[in-house]
Amino acid sequence: MKKITFYTLLIGLLFSACEPALEEKIDIGTPPSSSFSFDFIDLNNVKFNNTTTDEHFMISWDFGAQGVYSDEEVEINFPRAGTFDVKLTVFGKGGSTTKTETITITQDDPTACDAITMFLTGCGERVWKLNPDAGALWVGPDANSSWWFNTASDVTDRDCDWNDRYTFKSDGKFDYAANGDLWGEDYTGFDPAACYPITDLAANLAAWGDGNHTYEIIPATATDPAKLKVIGLGAFLGLRKAANGAEISAPISDITYDILEMTVGTPNILHIEVNFGGGLWRFKLASE
């Protein structure tokens, strides 16, 4: 005959006490059945509507590179031809369900930004300044050695360079604002080198002040990197004197910079270079 000890009985009672009564269990329901519809506004723009009828408290659209949204209705631009998976996840008391549809875009959007314009302008407009760190201004005989580059303290000591604003717009316009001052050196008619009011520029150098210009992106080739050309008398990036083939002492009509790197982040960093004949000037700009 099997004996039931006191400890066996105690353990059984404990487990029995932990087991919830059947009538106390909560029915959280079943997940909502997700659904959506879409309509083409044109060949590249599509409107999506959440058509889920089951009760729910939150939705999430996932359009991949086009982003994640939570509105009941969204309009999405697909700038490139191809097939794209669109996912709608609907959340309710019983959990969540996801509905996926594949969208086919038959053409590139003729009004869309290319990759460099997107980086420079955000497909609208974007303001850039010198990167507030050592090495934003750099000069050397070649890519592997330097003669000089700014230190971290220069960012404060010559802040009249670091408060300059370079605004690129997706329509090809480029604006420069000196923010009231400039770093004056002998080539701009100032001695000693220091920050001076921008209004102190001589009349023949006035085009180096605030100005509205344009720009052009020159695509990369098999042998050359992509280039950024600023166009208009006095247009420049980084330093006024750094130009193609020479260090200049008066405004010229355009300067073309090699694009070395475009780093996406917070902020974005644009690294450019110009060969002035006797060496290389390099500049790092940071987006606002």
**What are the residues whose beta carbons fall under 8 Å from the beta carbon of 127, sequence distance 6 or more?**
165, 166, 167, 287, 288
DSSP code of residue 41: S
Q: What pLDDT is recorded for position 252?
A: 98
Distance CA 278, CA 140 (A): 9
Distance CA 166, CA 129 (A): 6
**What are the residues whose beta carbons fall under 8 Å from the beta carbon of 232, sequence distance 6 or more?**
174, 211, 212, 213, 214, 253, 254
Q: What pLDDT is recorded for position 114?
A: 82
**What amino acid occupies position 150?**
N
Distance CA 124, CA 169 (A): 6
Residue 1 has pLDDT above 60, yes or no: no
Q: What pLDDT is recorded for position 23?
A: 53
B/e letters for 17-52, b = 16+ CB within 10 Å, e = fewer, are: eeeeeeeeeeeeeebbebbbeeeeeeebebebebeb
Q: What pLDDT is recorded for position 24?
A: 60
Q: For the residues 41-69, what does the mean pLDDT come to?
A: 92
Distance CA 45, CA 109 (A): 9
Checking DSSP bridges between strand 137-140 and strand 125-130, what pairing results, if any?
Answer: unpaired
DSSP code of residue 152: T
Report the candidate in 215, 251, 238, 243 with the shortest Cα–Cα distance to residue 286: 238
Grouping H, G, I as helix, E, B as strand and the rest as coil, residue 70 is coil
Grouping H, G, I as helix, E, B as strand and the rest as coil, residue 203 is helix
Distance CA 16, CA 193 (A): 87
Phi and psi at 157, nearest 5°, equal -65, -35
Q: Pick the most confident of 17-21, 63-67, 83-87.
A: 83-87
Q: For the residues 245-273, what does the mean pLDDT come to?
A: 97
More confident residue, 111 or 51: 51
> Tens digit of pLDDT for each residue in 148-207?
999 999 999 999 999 999 999 998 999 999 999 999 999 999 999 999 999 999 999 999
- Are 279 and 139 in contact by the 8 Å Cβ rule? The answer is yes
**What are the residues whose beta carbons fall under 8 Å from the beta carbon of 35, sequence distance 6 or more?**
50, 51, 52, 53, 88, 99
Q: What pLDDT is recorded for position 120?
A: 96
Q: What pLDDT is recorded for position 13?
A: 45
**What amino acid occupies position 206?**
A
Distance CA 227, CA 235 (A): 15
> Tens digit of pLDDT for each residue in 202-257?
999 999 999 999 999 999 999 999 999 999 999 999 999 999 999 999 999 999 99
Residue 5 has pLDDT above 60, yes or no: no
> Tens digit of pLDDT for each residue in 79-133?
889 999 999 999 998 899 999 999 999 998 877 788 899 899 998 999 999 999 9
Distance CA 67, CA 85 (A): 12
CB atoms within 10 A of CB 174: 24
Residue 10 has pLDDT above 60, yes or no: no
